[in-house]
Amino acid sequence: MKPLGIGLIGTGFMGKAHALAWRGARAVLGRNLPETRLELLCDTPADKARDMADQFGFARATDDWEALVRDPAVDVVSITTPNNLHHRMALAALEAGKHVWCEKPMALTLAEAEEMAAAAARAGTVTLLGYNYIRNPAFRHAQKLIAEGRIGRVVHVRGWVDEDYQADPDLAWTWRARLADAGLGTLGDLGCHLVSLVVGLCGPIESLIADTQIIHQTRPLPDGSGRGTVENEDTATAILRFASGAQGSISTSRSAWGRKNRLDVEVHGTKGMICFAQERMNELQLYINEGPKGEQGFRTILTSPEHPPFGAFVPAPGHQLGFNDLKVIEAGDLLAAIRDGGAAYPSMADALGFERVIHAIADSARAGGVRVSLG
């Protein structure tokens, strides 16, 4: 298979994460993955694109994203731009016959996300949405334990995802506060990650009841000319019913003082439970109701080479994977799907399911907490 040319749009935090992942995937995960060339990088202005291309190791630079997606030397397009650009860029890349790795959320609206999934189906190329937390070896081991019935039948799940990047009422108004630029608020930024985890552990969500709130109704405009209206939610909470019969709840806040990346899930079964916390991402807590009552308790499972692909990074437990390592695993899964002619998970079709959940939460809240079916 000829080396795949990589085109990267955007050079912020996630753009750098993608660049590191493309550079590291084959080195870490093995030579059975296709080779890649860091072919073309796009950002604005042009001099920034050239500087970042040099820093990240890309052969060429441009300030024209449309030229990047049309470029015949580019086989895979990484989209790491603000939310309002995902839809246009992904559609153009798919129309040009490219494989697409796009950061979440898919788009600003559910209709746009549906259009992207339909375009991906027509294109027949590999697509992947940036839900890197489900790549964690600890999370994958939790899925394995549940599938094996170690905690019995799953009956209830609880999840939280909280950060404090919008907690300060004096923080200046930005594009993240406007529906036309950001789409949903904490649901699009954070809640969709939590949805990917609970669906990965408990299966499809059948219906939900939800509420949301805007904590800071206005914020000071950056130029000091007044205050701008905050149009999307700071917090959201939903009560869930799963197709399996399990129930649960999820809650998300971007205004939770002291929380930096609290992404926690508890899964309760008829024989025990599993707890996962992203801030302690190399650990899994397992409780199983067996043995003498006086000796029962939570067991801490420290991820190790026993939990693939941990061993591809380090050879022993306790040496800790990090956020960017999960992006390397993500890039490796995308490359493997291209090599095998299969699908990556979550594809645009899969991620559309997550989008439907977060938009159903927003719909339920707007309607005063009515139950919304996702069947």
123 token code pair:
């294109």
Report the pLDDT value the prediction gives residue 375, as an integer from 0 to 100. Answer: 77
Radius of gyration over alpha carbons of the chain, in Å?
A: 21
Distance between CA atoms of residues 208 and 362, nearest Å: 11
Q: Mind listing the pLDDT tens digit for each residue in 1-41? A: 899 999 999 999 999 999 999 999 999 999 899 999 999 99
Start-end of CATH 3.30.360.10 domains in the chain: 135-373
B/e letters for 295-319, b = 16+ CB within 10 Å, e = fewer, are eeeeeebebbeebebbebbeeebee
Report the pLDDT value the prediction gives residue 1, as an integer from 0 to 100. Answer: 84
Distance between CA atoms of residues 116 and 106, nearest Å: 8
Start-end of CATH 3.40.50.720 domains in the chain: 4-132
- Strand pairing class (235-242; 99-102): unpaired
122 token code pair:
């027509």
Domain 135-373 has CATH 3.40.50.300: no
56 token code pair:
């990240």
Distance between CA atoms of residues 323 and 150, nearest Å: 28
- CA-nearest of 178, 143, 118 to 286 is 143
CA 185 to chain centre: 15
Work out the end-to-end distance of the chain between its first and last CA atoms, rounded to an integer number of angstroms: 41
Q: What is the pTM of this model?
A: 0.96
Q: In order along the chain (375 residues), what is the average pLDDT of each group of 10 residues?
A: 96 98 97 97 98 98 98 98 96 98 97 98 98 98 98 98 97 94 96 98 98 98 96 98 98 98 98 97 97 94 97 95 98 98 97 98 98 93
Report the pLDDT value the prediction gives residue 203, as an integer from 0 to 100. Answer: 98
Fold classification of 4-132 is Rossmann fold (3.40.50)
Q: Mind listing the pLDDT tens digit for each residue in 49-88? A: 999 999 999 999 999 999 999 999 999 999 999 999 999 9
Report the pLDDT value the prediction gives residue 274, as an integer from 0 to 100. Answer: 98
